[in-house]
Amino acid sequence: MKKLLVVFSLVISFTACAFNGNKEATEKSEADVVEVTMIKFKFVPEVIEIKKGQTIRWVNKEKRQYHSVFFEKYGEEESDYIFPDETFDKLFDKVGEFDYRCGPHPEMIGRVIVK
Ligand SMILES: [Cu+2]
Protein backbone atom coordinates (compact mmCIF):
# COMPACT_ATOMS: atom_id res chain seq x y z
CA MET A 1 0.00 0.00 0.00
CA LYS A 2 2.85 2.38 0.88
CA LYS A 3 4.51 1.59 -2.46
CA LEU A 4 1.32 2.44 -4.26
CA LEU A 5 1.18 5.80 -2.49
CA VAL A 6 4.76 6.61 -3.52
CA VAL A 7 4.01 5.77 -7.13
CA PHE A 8 0.85 7.80 -6.98
CA SER A 9 2.58 10.90 -5.60
CA LEU A 10 5.33 10.56 -8.20
CA VAL A 11 2.74 10.56 -10.95
CA ILE A 12 1.15 13.66 -9.42
CA SER A 13 4.44 15.56 -9.26
CA PHE A 14 5.37 14.62 -12.84
CA THR A 15 2.00 15.84 -14.00
CA ALA A 16 2.48 19.10 -12.09
CA CYS A 17 5.92 19.61 -13.67
CA ALA A 18 4.62 19.03 -17.16
CA PHE A 19 1.80 21.46 -16.54
CA ASN A 20 4.13 24.21 -15.30
CA GLY A 21 6.42 23.64 -18.25
CA ASN A 22 3.58 24.17 -20.68
CA LYS A 23 2.47 27.31 -18.91
CA GLU A 24 5.93 28.84 -19.12
CA ALA A 25 6.24 27.94 -22.78
CA THR A 26 2.94 29.68 -23.53
CA GLU A 27 3.97 32.82 -21.67
CA LYS A 28 7.32 32.89 -23.44
CA SER A 29 5.80 32.55 -26.88
CA GLU A 30 3.37 35.41 -26.22
CA ALA A 31 6.24 37.68 -25.15
CA ASP A 32 8.15 36.75 -28.28
CA VAL A 33 5.47 37.96 -30.68
CA VAL A 34 5.51 41.65 -31.56
CA GLU A 35 2.66 43.19 -33.55
CA VAL A 36 2.84 45.52 -36.52
CA THR A 37 -0.47 46.92 -37.73
CA MET A 38 -1.40 47.47 -41.36
CA ILE A 39 -3.72 50.46 -41.47
CA LYS A 40 -4.44 53.28 -43.97
CA PHE A 41 -1.81 51.91 -46.35
CA LYS A 42 0.92 52.08 -43.70
CA PHE A 43 2.87 49.67 -41.52
CA VAL A 44 2.58 50.93 -37.92
CA PRO A 45 5.16 51.31 -36.53
CA GLU A 46 7.04 51.75 -39.78
CA VAL A 47 10.36 50.95 -38.07
CA ILE A 48 10.33 48.32 -35.36
CA GLU A 49 13.16 47.06 -33.19
CA ILE A 50 13.03 43.52 -31.86
CA LYS A 51 15.38 40.96 -30.34
CA LYS A 52 16.80 38.01 -32.21
CA GLY A 53 14.41 35.08 -31.88
CA GLN A 54 11.28 37.22 -31.74
CA THR A 55 8.45 36.93 -34.23
CA ILE A 56 6.63 39.79 -35.89
CA ARG A 57 2.92 39.38 -36.41
CA TRP A 58 1.50 41.71 -39.05
CA VAL A 59 -2.19 42.39 -38.41
CA ASN A 60 -4.39 43.87 -41.12
CA LYS A 61 -6.75 46.41 -39.51
CA GLU A 62 -8.09 47.86 -42.76
CA LYS A 63 -11.80 47.78 -43.51
CA ARG A 64 -11.46 46.33 -47.00
CA GLN A 65 -7.90 46.52 -48.28
CA TYR A 66 -5.54 43.57 -48.39
CA HIS A 67 -1.76 43.88 -48.15
CA SER A 68 1.30 41.64 -48.13
CA VAL A 69 4.76 41.53 -46.58
CA PHE A 70 7.57 41.31 -49.07
CA PHE A 71 11.28 41.18 -48.16
CA GLU A 72 12.08 41.58 -51.82
CA LYS A 73 15.77 42.62 -51.51
CA TYR A 74 16.68 39.38 -49.79
CA GLY A 75 15.25 37.09 -52.45
CA GLU A 76 12.40 36.02 -50.20
CA GLU A 77 8.95 35.14 -51.43
CA GLU A 78 6.13 37.58 -50.92
CA SER A 79 3.64 36.55 -48.22
CA ASP A 80 0.13 35.58 -49.24
CA TYR A 81 -2.27 38.52 -49.35
CA ILE A 82 -3.31 39.41 -45.83
CA PHE A 83 -6.98 40.36 -45.75
CA PRO A 84 -8.72 42.47 -43.06
CA ASP A 85 -8.47 40.79 -39.64
CA GLU A 86 -5.93 38.29 -40.95
CA THR A 87 -2.35 38.05 -39.73
CA PHE A 88 1.07 36.97 -40.98
CA ASP A 89 3.90 35.78 -38.71
CA LYS A 90 7.61 35.78 -39.44
CA LEU A 91 10.41 34.74 -37.10
CA PHE A 92 13.64 36.76 -37.10
CA ASP A 93 16.64 34.68 -36.06
CA LYS A 94 19.40 36.85 -37.54
CA VAL A 95 20.68 40.21 -36.32
CA GLY A 96 20.45 43.03 -38.86
CA GLU A 97 18.21 45.63 -40.49
CA PHE A 98 15.65 44.38 -42.95
CA ASP A 99 13.60 46.58 -45.29
CA TYR A 100 10.34 45.32 -46.64
CA ARG A 101 7.35 46.55 -48.55
CA CYS A 102 3.82 45.62 -49.43
CA GLY A 103 3.63 43.70 -52.72
CA PRO A 104 0.61 45.48 -54.24
CA HIS A 105 1.65 48.91 -52.81
CA PRO A 106 5.40 49.46 -53.31
CA GLU A 107 5.22 52.83 -51.52
CA MET A 108 4.05 51.08 -48.36
CA ILE A 109 7.33 50.28 -46.65
CA GLY A 110 8.72 49.18 -43.30
CA ARG A 111 11.93 48.17 -41.58
CA VAL A 112 12.68 45.52 -38.98
CA ILE A 113 15.76 46.05 -36.83
CA VAL A 114 16.85 42.84 -35.11
CA LYS A 115 19.34 43.21 -32.23
CU1 LIG B 1 -0.52 47.17 -49.25
Q: What is the DSSP letter of 82?
A: B
- pLDDT tens-digit profile, the chain (115 residues): 455 444 444 444 444 444 444 445 555 566 899 999 999 999 999 999 999 999 999 999 999 999 999 999 999 999 999 999 999 999 999 999 999 999 999 999 999 999 9
With beta carbons less than 8 A apart as the criterion, state whether 71 and 95 touch: no
Distance from Cα 26 to the centre of ligand 1, integer Å? 31
Q: How far apart are CA 84 and CA 65, in angstroms?
A: 7
pTM of the predicted structure, to 2 decimals: 0.75
Distance from Cα 83 to the centre of ligand 1, integer Å? 10
Strand partners, 47: 111
